[in-house]
């Protein structure tokens, strides 16, 4: 009985701890994503709307080439912002990401 009680306490403390860590990590991920979305809207958005970005499905090397081309063309990105943007694009809009390409003549 006593052993069971100890186990229950340990499990609940641990799960609380892990839960807190996990949710904190998730919150950090979310805020990092929010920052990159802001970057895309504010820096890429000077020349084009964000739909041009989100319709691409590219691997990391093509994203790198694309972002670097845009930096050459005047996109204002610090080295840290460039890395963050590339990581976001390569994980969010990679070739296997879901595509909601709709048939064009259904409407």
Which of 96, 91, 84, 92 minimizes the C-alpha distance to 32? 84
Output the smallest distance, CB 71 to other proteins, in A.
9
- The correct pick among 4, 30, 81, 85 for binding other proteins (CB under 8 A) is 30
- Determine if 72 is a binding residue for other proteins (CB under 8 A): yes
Q: Which of residues 86-105 bind other proteins (CB under 8 A)?
A: 91-92, 95-96, 101, 103-105
What does the block give as tokens for 40?
């895309």
| 65 HSE (CA, 13 A, CB side) | 4
Q: Are the beta carbons of 51 and 103 closer than 8 angstroms?
A: no
- Determine if 74 is a binding residue for other proteins (CB under 8 A): yes
For residue 90, the Cα-to-chain-centroid distance in whole angstroms is 9
Q: Are the beta carbons of 36 and 88 closer than 8 angstroms?
A: yes
- Determine if 78 is a binding residue for other proteins (CB under 8 A): no
- Determine if 9 is a binding residue for other proteins (CB under 8 A): no
Return residues touching other proteins (CB under 8 A). Answer: 26, 29-30, 33-34, 37-38, 40-42, 45-52, 55-59, 62, 66, 72-75, 91-92, 95-96, 101, 103-107
């Amino acid at each position: 009985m006593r052993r069971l009680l100890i186990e229950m306490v340990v499990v609940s403390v641990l799960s609380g701890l892990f839960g807190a860590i996990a949710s904190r990590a998730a919150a950090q991920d979310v805020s990092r994503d929010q920052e990159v979305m802001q970057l895309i809207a504010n820096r890429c958005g000077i020349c084009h709307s964000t739909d041009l970005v989100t319709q691409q499905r590219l691997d990391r090397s093509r994203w790198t080439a694309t972002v670097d081309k845009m930096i050459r063309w005047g996109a204002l990105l610090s080295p840290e912002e460039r890395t963050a943007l590339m990581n976001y694009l390569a994980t969010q809009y990679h070739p296997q990401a879901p595509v909601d390409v709709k048939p064009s003549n259904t409407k």
